[in-house]
A and B are shown apart, each in its own frame.
Chain A
Amino acid sequence: MDLSKLTIAKARRALDLKEYSALELTDAYLKNIAARDPEIHAYLEVWEKQAREEAKAADETIAQGQAKALTGIPLAIKDNILIEGRIASSASKILENYVASYDATVIAKLKGSRAVFLGRTNMDEFAMGSSTENSAFGPTKNPIDTSRIPGGSSGGSAAAVAGAMAAAALGSDTGGSIRQPAAHTGLVGLKPTYGAVSRFGLMAMGSSLDQVGPLTKIVEDARILFEAIRGYDGNDSTSLPDSKGEAKKPRSIGVPRKFLESGVDKDLLDVFERTLESLRANGYEVKDIEMPTLPYGLAVYYIVMPAEASTNLARFDGIRYGLSIPAGSIGEVYARTRGQGFGPEVRRRILVGTFVLSAGYADAYYRKARAVRAAITDEFARAFTETDIIAVPTTPAPAFKFGEKTADPLAMYAEDIFSVPVNLAGVPAISVPCGSVAREGKDLPVGFQVIAPHGGEERLFSIGEDIEKTRH
């Protein structure tokens, strides 16, 4: 079996035809991890023993003819998603030895279909970052060019799949953390509609923005994994009621041209335009649309997200779980534990969040940001009366080098310009590889991002498969 080309769909057929067993498949991935991961560092921990047990259980299910879509499929799980009895650290010192007390809903669903969990993947600490350089346990390398970042924050999940060290992976996306690493490693990444996938058991960063979603080699796999994890959950107060979703095939593509002027690499934009041309040749109608509030998305995001993150991270105080630094008074226990447990970017965002929520500033920052967020949401709703889907590049540039953006937080934040408006509006979006650009003699992948209205994941899969046929 050639793991570099293996997809969930192909593995399913082979497992059902007994070409190989789930245990053999899991062993093949474990072998690849042992060979490749010392260099890439996609995983923070590999669950070799448990994975083999899970694979054996999957083989029994397959033998009984009870296999579901993901039975026996080896997956990688981002380190901020809880699996009972296993460490979940969010790549933070503050949770370095934290053992999860319960299963996230997405994990319970995957266990129900007898999927195999290979390990937990590296990430930017508490999902704050776009490169995995903010992990407390060292960065992950991009398997396509190891001098470059794999994107983030789900960079470990992306590198695991791109490096043939997992068939597919789960990530989380608050402002682009699935789509951007997918784009940088040549994968498909889906940010589902807000509320489509349960957040129960996902460590919260920006609660009004977070979604769990798949990173996969092909669109078909993203659909399979999304179908397996979606659905109403009473444990998530913002979970959406189950609905069938609409099966409409998109025909028109809206491009917010003015927004694309916000500093995109010329050759990357050319790849994007050529993909649009191919889609037009395949019968899609491509038109310009006006979305004048979109350029404010990044600034709005960097108010709303730190505000929510600073609130969510208040729970890490050295009392109920995780690191606890002994001190003379309870106030000092809090301050020392948090000061020593959180890394620099997390501390920075907690402080910015504290500022924008503080009395005297909340109106000018947080409430104004909420109002502009509402305007962006309305703008998407208006745009979707004119067009079936919206297309923009996933990122303004291909994967960058280690250290290139670590000195300037704002340079790192700018990486998210095209992905954050999607989270602000709660709509679904997918990044699909559409070609490559050359940098220093290496071909680096480019992601084509498609955005649909709430509940429009089928539209994304439909056009995503058309993009796969027209890769440049």
Chain B
Amino acid sequence: MSKKAIDVAALAKLARLEVSPEELEKLEEEIPSILAFVETIRKASAGTEHKGKGLRNVMRADEKPHESGIHTEKLLNAAPAREGDRIAVKQVISRKK
């Protein structure tokens, strides 16, 4: 398999991941090698995705909620910043300057 050029900087942006210029250079070598390896599955004969036994996913009924507020303190304590009973974050929507 031939190695293709991958725009790692664009991927990092999609993944919301800050990557240093030195690491970017290294990843531009490594990621195409990994992809060249995993591309060997193209040679495998396989039909479509599985429908039979194996994995199953079961949604639970949306009922019997726990008493409101019993987990609030514990979960808020895990957050890096809080304001009262809310997690504090930087402004998400801003007016165009």
Contact = CB atoms under 8 A, between A and B. Distances in A.
A335 interface: yes
A320 B45 contact: no
Interface string B23-40: 100010011011101111
A371 B48 contact: yes
Interface stretch (A51-59, A270-278, A299-307): A299-307
Interface string B48-72: 1110111111111000000000010
Contacts of A314: 16
Contacts of A333: 89-90
B11 A300 contact: no
A371 B46 contact: yes
A237 B58 contact: yes
Given A330-B91, A351-B31, A238 B55 contact: yes
Nearest to B51: A374
Contact of A329 (B14, B75, B90): B90
Contacts of A338: 15-18
A299 B31 contact: no
Contacts of A339: 17-20
Interface string A27-67: 00000000000000000000000000000000000000000
Contacts of A12: none
A103 to B, nearest CB: 12
Contact of A374 (B31, B40, B46): B46
A352 B45 contact: no
B41 A368 contact: yes
Chain B interface mostly helix, strand, loop or mixed? loop
B35 A355 contact: yes
A171 interface: no
Contacts of A340: 18
Contacts of B31: 348, 351-352, 355
A322 B80 CA distance: 7
A109 interface: no
A327 B47 CA distance: 48
B74 interface: yes
B71 A101 contact: yes
Given A319-B79, A410-B33, A410-B34, A335 B18 contact: yes
B40 A238 contact: no
A373 B50 contact: yes
Nearest to A374: B50
A351 B16 contact: no
B3 to A, nearest CB: 12
A302 B39 CA distance: 10
A381 B60 contact: no
Which among A296, A339, A351, A381 has the greatest number of chain B C-beta atoms within 10 A?
A: A351
Interface residues of B, number: 54
A344 B89 CA distance: 27
Contacts of A352: 31, 34-35
Given A302-B37, A330-B89, A365-B38, A344 B55 contact: no
A372 B54 contact: no
A303 B41 contact: yes
A175 to B, nearest CB: 13
Given A370-B50, A377-B54, A410-B33, A336 B89 contact: no
Interface in A198-238: 208, 234, 237-238
Contacts of B77: 99
Contact of A330 (B11, B34, B54, B92): B92
B18 A319 contact: no
Nearest to A329: B90
B78 A321 contact: yes
A350 interface: yes
B27 A348 contact: yes
Contacts of A300: 38, 41
Contacts of B91: 329-330
Which among B17, B19, B23, B77 has the greatest number of chain A C-beta atoms within 10 A?
A: B17
Given A339-B19, A348-B31, A296 B90 contact: no
Nearest to A195: B56
7 contacts: A194-B54, A339-B19, A348-B30, A351-B8, A351-B11, A358-B14, A454-B53
Interface of B: 6, 8, 11-12, 14-20, 23, 27, 30-31, 33-35, 37-50, 52-60, 71, 74-75, 77-81, 87, 89-92
Interface of A: 98-99, 101-102, 194-195, 208, 234, 237-238, 293, 296, 299-300, 302-303, 310, 314, 317-324, 327-331, 333-336, 338-340, 342, 344, 347-348, 350-352, 354-356, 358, 364-365, 367-375, 377-378, 381, 409-410, 413, 425-426, 454
